[in-house]
Amino acid sequence: MTERDTPPERAVIGKRVRSGEAETAEVRDLAQAAGYRVLESVTQTRTEDPAYHFGEGKVEEIAATVAATDATAVIVDNELGPYQTYNVGNKLPEGVRVIDRFRLILEIFGQRAQTRKAQLQVELAELRYELPRAEAKASLAKRDERPGFMGLGEYDESRERDIKARISRIRDELEQIERDDQHRREQRRESGFDLVALAGYTNAGKSTLLRQLAADLDVDENEDIHPDLDSTAESEDRLFTTLGTTTRKGDIDRRDVLVTDTVGFISDLPHWLVESFKSTLDAVYRADLVLLVVDVSEPMDEIHEKVVTCHDTLYERNEAPIVTVLNKCDTVDDDEITRKKEGLSALAPNPVVISAKTGDGIDRLWERVHDELPDYKHERLVMPMTEDTMSVVSWIHDNAYVQTVEYGDHADEVTVEFEARPQVVEQSRSKAQQLVETSPSA
């Protein structure tokens, strides 16, 4: 039997909330994204039990459900401490794994990681997850002088040091990747590109929107500048189809725009996990404009919570303007959209309503993008006609919006009038000055 034919693991969901009713829809989606088949859910409303997380009686109910369904894993939609993981596992049939929310998310990330950067970020997150567990083993072993105490595994005093050393090496490599990415972004800007990033929660429709915004896949630039141009931006209805970044050239008049899709946010992520993916999120933090994509079909309180979380995450480092995009307008009526726009007015006073699936509103979105991006500068250059002049004119055509090109009466000079990003205007002036300095009449 091949790996593809291997049946999915069977899981029972467990979730505890302090108050109210426990909602399991999201964790079910996460479990399915990781390849599990969810059989049953067991929930509890109570304060956390320090030993079991759940009440001990509820753990016994989970164990009974596992036995009745022949499940192979218990997925707990909360963060479990190392001792709680052991205690819950001790109540379950032999061989049944206990997986908390963040271990589950790391499994998904590990399955999706394709690039070196994504793989390093996943490994960094896994090590940060494991470090406190290794520290707990070390602490207990030293205190009780019993390796393997509480079932936490045999104590190896070198393991904690190894984890910290590996974390340090990964950080160094990721910092170099970040420097390379930043250099690439600056090259793109110097080549006349505006950088637009898509942000938002998983399944909000970012990848579908990227496909709508894309003019084509061909950008006539060095592959070192555009290694993330991808012909297969996925838009499947599953979580975390985008773990790294995918960039497309945007279909907008007068401007050269690169649109980048990034990893989706998810609820209740701890700071250490978000920090592990800082390298990917830099594509958002360092963009010229961020489009925050929101699923308008979701309940209002859920939309509000997600927008608040996204703004908190983005405004911590991001300096570019943020435009909220209410996606999936084809799934709700106009009255509901109006109510939700009013409910978000304090956070997103002027959102753009679209359907990435049908294309409705895409023209309005492009108009907003054009209005929000940095203003182009107007320039008029008069250059002497030399053997290099036409290559400069061609370069301006490639990197700016050219309005007119006029040649002198005796074809001894050329005048180019255009609009472009400030960096491109400066480069154009420099190239024109070089022509003047090398002209035979200089």
Annotated binding site for GTP: 200-207, 261-264, 327-330, 355-357
- Residue that the structure tokens 């904690």 belong to: 160
Handedness of CA 271, 273, 279, 283 (dihedral sign): negative
- Residue 174 CA to residue 350 CA, distance in Å, equals 37
The residues with which 416 forms a beta bridge, in sequence order, are 381, 405
Is residue 25 packed enough to be buried (19+ CB in 10 Å), middle (13-18) or exposed (0-12)? exposed
Residues ≥6 apart with Cβ < 8 Å to 311:
292, 322, 347
- Residue that the structure tokens 């480092």 belong to: 317
Annotated binding-site positions for Mg(2+) = 207, 242
- Residue 302 CA to residue 343 CA, distance in Å, equals 12
DSSP 177-224: HHHHHHHHHHHHHHTTEEEEEEEEBTTSSHHHHHHHHEEES---S-TT
- Residue 90 CA to residue 230 CA, distance in Å, equals 47
- Is 223:230 a contact under the CB 8 Å cutoff? no
DSSP 361: T
Annotated binding-site positions = 200-207, 242, 261-264, 327-330, 355-357
DSSP 263-305: PPB-TT--HHHHHHTHHHHHHHHT-SEEEEEEETTS-HHHHHH
**Residue 18 CB: number of other CB atoms within 10 A?**
8
First and final CA of the chain: distance in angstroms? 78
Residues ≥6 apart with Cβ < 8 Å to 338:
none
Strand 193-200 relative to strand 289-295, pairing? parallel
Strand 413-420 relative to strand 401-407, pairing? antiparallel
